C-alpha cells in the first residue's frame, strides 16, 4: 500500500526471496546511494524494510544495507523509458495527443466510465460536507448546489458564498414575493451598494435595507463577482435573478427532482421565467435586445454538474440503487458540453457523444493529463506499452 506520510514508500508488502516469504515495507530510490543520502540508515522507521527497489545500483555491495535490493534499469525495455520521457516533454493539448487514436474504443469506454465515477464521487464528497453542516437538510444542499452551478465556471465560488450567507430557509419566508427575493439576493451579493442607476434598482436597495436590518444580515463584497470577457447571458446579475426566480417558482425542488421520472420532467423544473426587469436587462441600468433568463444550455449544465451527482449521493446515502441508474440514464441522454477542453479532445480524435463523455474527458484532462499522470491512466499505460 502506498504510504503518503513519513517512512518507507510502501507498506504491507509480501516479498518472496528464494523459498522465504518476507512481510514488511518497500523503499524506492532512483539510486542505491539514496538510502544513505536520505539518512534512512539512522531512521528506525526503516528497520522493517524487506526490499529496496532502485533504478540504478551505484553503490559498492559492501556499503549497501543488509536488505534485498533489485535493480530495474536492465529489466525495463528502453522504448518504454523513451516514450515516457517524450510524453513528459510534450507541450501538446495532452501528452498523448499524437497517440490517443491508437487506443481501442474498449479501453477508452472503460476509462471514461472510471473518470465519470471519480468526478461524481469528488462532487459527492463536497455535498456530504454540506449535509453535515445543514443537519442533513437535502433541500438546503440542493439550493447550494444549484447556486454554485449557476455560477460555473468563473463565478461558482461567489455564488456558493452568496448561498451560504443567504440560506434557503430565509428565502423560503419570502417565496411568494419575487421582488423581495431579488432584493435579498442582490443585496447579500453586495450589488446594491452606492448610487443605483434606475428606479427599479433603487427600490431593490430600499427593500434590502429593510430586510438587512430585520434579519441583521451582512452582505458579501461586490467586487468578488466577475464580469470580464463574458457574454451578457452569463453575467452574474442575470444568474442571480434566475436563482431568485427558481426559489420563487419551485417548491421543494429536491423532492420534485427525486420524483421526476424523465429528463424532460427535470428540465421543466428549471424552466422558469425571470422578472420583467431582467427580461430586458443584463446589469442594473444596462438593457439588452433579446429576452433574458435561463437557457437550454444552462439547464443542461445544471443537470449534468449538479443534479446527477446529487442523485448519485442520495442513492448512496439511502441505499436506493434505482436512483443511481436514473442519474446514469439522465446524463447519457444529455448532449455533450461544448467548451475549449471538449473541442481540444475532438481535434485529436477523441469524440464526445454525450455528457458522460464530456464529463469524463474534463476529469481526465484536469486531474491526469495536465498533471502528466500518464502512468496512472489506463489509456496512457496502454499507449506506453504499445509496440
Between 90 and 173, the higher pLDDT residue: 173
DSSP state of 354: S
Residue for grid cell 506499452: 385
- Distance (Å, whole) CA 183 – CA 244: 9
What the block records as the C-alpha cell of 210 is: 429593510
Q: What confidence tens digit (pLDDT) does each residue in 353-367 have?
A: 999 999 999 999 999
Q: Angle between the 105-133 and 378-385 helix axes, to the nearest 10 degrees?
A: 150
Q: Kindly report the average pLDDT of the chain as a whole number.
A: 91
Mean pLDDT confidence for 83-101 = 79
DSSP labels, 13-68 = EEEEETTEEEEEEEEEEEETTHHHHTTGGG-GGGTTEEEEEEEE--S-GGGS-SS-
| E strand spans, 233-312 | 281-283, 286-287
Using DSSP bridges, classify how beta strands 49-56 and 69-71 pair: parallel, antiparallel or unpaired.
parallel
- Distance (Å, whole) CA 265 – CA 288: 30
On the question of pLDDT at 292 being above 90, the answer is no
- Distance (Å, whole) CA 308 – CA 328: 8
Which of 218, 113, 122, 131 lies closest to 170, judged by CA? 218
Q: What confidence tens digit (pLDDT) does each residue in 309-338 have?
A: 999 999 999 999 999 999 999 999 999 999
3-state helix, strand, coil in the chain (%, to 5): 60, 10, 35
Q: What confidence tens digit (pLDDT) does each residue in 161-185 have?
A: 999 999 999 999 999 999 999 999 9
Query: Please, what sign has the CA dihedral across residues 265, 270, 274, 280?
Result: negative
The lowest-confidence range among 60-74, 101-115, 251-265 is 60-74
Residue for grid cell 411568494: 176
Supply the pLDDT for residue 66: 84
- Distance (Å, whole) CA 126 – CA 116: 16
| E strand spans, the chain | 10-17, 20-31, 49-56, 69-71, 281-283, 286-287
**Half-sphere exposure (Cβ direction) of 301: Cα atoms closer than 13 Å:** 18
Q: What confidence tens digit (pLDDT) does each residue in 226-260 have?
A: 888 788 888 999 999 999 999 999 989 999 999 99
- Residue 47: count other Cβ atoms within 10 Å of its Cβ: 10
Residue % of the chain over a pLDDT of 90? 67
Mean pLDDT confidence for 181-208 = 95
Between 232 and 275, the higher pLDDT residue: 275
Amino acid at each position: 500500500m502506498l504510504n503518503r506520510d513519513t517512512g518507507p514508500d510502501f507498506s504491507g508488502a509480501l516479498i518472496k526471496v528464494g523459498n522465504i516469504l518476507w512481510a514488511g515495507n518497500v523503499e524506492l530510490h532512483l539510486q542505491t546511494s539514496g538510502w544513505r543520502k536520505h539518512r534512512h540508515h539512522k531512521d528506525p522507521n526503516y528497520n522493517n524494510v524487506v526490499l529496496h527497489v532502485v533504478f540504478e545500483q551505484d553503490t559498492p555491495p559492501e556499503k549497501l544495507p543488509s536488505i534485498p535490493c533489485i535493480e530495474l534499469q536492465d529489466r525495463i525495455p528502453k522504448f518504454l523509458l523513451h516514450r515516457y520521457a517524450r510524453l513528459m516533454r510534450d507541450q501538446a493539448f495532452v501528452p498523448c495527443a499524437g497517440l490517443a487514436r491508437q487506443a481501442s474504443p474498449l479501453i477508452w469506454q472503460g476509462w471514461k466510465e472510471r473518470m465519470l465515477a471519480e468526478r461524481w464521487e469528488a462532487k459527492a464528497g463536497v455535498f456530504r460536507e454540506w449535509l453535515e453542516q445543514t443537519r442533513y437538510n437535502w433541500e438546503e444542499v440542493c439550493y447550494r448546489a444549484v447556486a454554485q452551478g449557476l455560477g460555473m465556471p468563473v463565478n461558482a465560488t461567489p455564488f456558493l458564498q452568496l448561498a451560504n450567507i443567504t440560506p434557503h430557509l430565509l428565502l423560503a419566508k419570502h417565496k411568494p414575493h419575487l421582488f423581495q427575493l431579488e432584493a435579498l439576493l442582490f443585496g447579500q451579493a453586495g450589488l446594491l451598494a452606492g448610487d443605483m442607476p434606475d428606479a427599479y434598482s433603487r427600490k431593490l436597495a430600499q427593500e434590502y435595507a429593510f430586510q438587512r436590518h430585520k434579519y441583521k444580515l451582512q452582505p458579501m463584497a461586490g467586487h468578488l463577482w466577475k464580469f470580464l470577457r463574458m457574454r451578457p447571458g452569463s453575467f452574474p446579475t442575470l444568474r442571480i435573478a434566475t436563482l431568485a426566480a427558481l426559489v420563487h417558482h419551485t417548491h421543494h425542488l429536491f423532492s420534485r427532482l427525486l420524483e421526476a421520472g424523465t429528463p424532460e420532467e427535470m428540465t421543466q423544473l428549471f424552466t422558469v421565467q425571470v422578472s420583467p426587469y431582467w427580461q430586458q436587462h443584463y446589469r442594473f441600468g444596462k438593457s439588452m435586445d433579446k429576452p433574458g433568463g435561463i437557457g437550454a444550455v444552462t439547464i443542461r449544465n445544471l443537470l449534468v454538474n449538479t443534479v446527477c451527482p446529487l442523485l448519485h449521493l442520495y442513492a448512496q446515502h439511502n441505499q436506493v440503487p434505482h436512483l443511481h441508474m436514473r442519474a446514469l440514464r439522465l446524463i447519457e441522454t444529455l448532449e455533450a458540453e461544448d467548451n475549449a477542453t471538449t473541442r481540444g479532445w475532438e481535434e485529436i480524435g477523441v469524440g464526445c457523444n454525450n455528457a458522460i463523455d464530456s464529463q469524463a474527458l474534463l476529469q481526465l484532462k484536469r486531474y491526469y493529463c495536465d498533471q502528466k499522470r500518464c502512468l496512472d491512466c489506463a489509456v496512457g499505460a496502454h499507449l506506453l506499452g504499445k509496440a
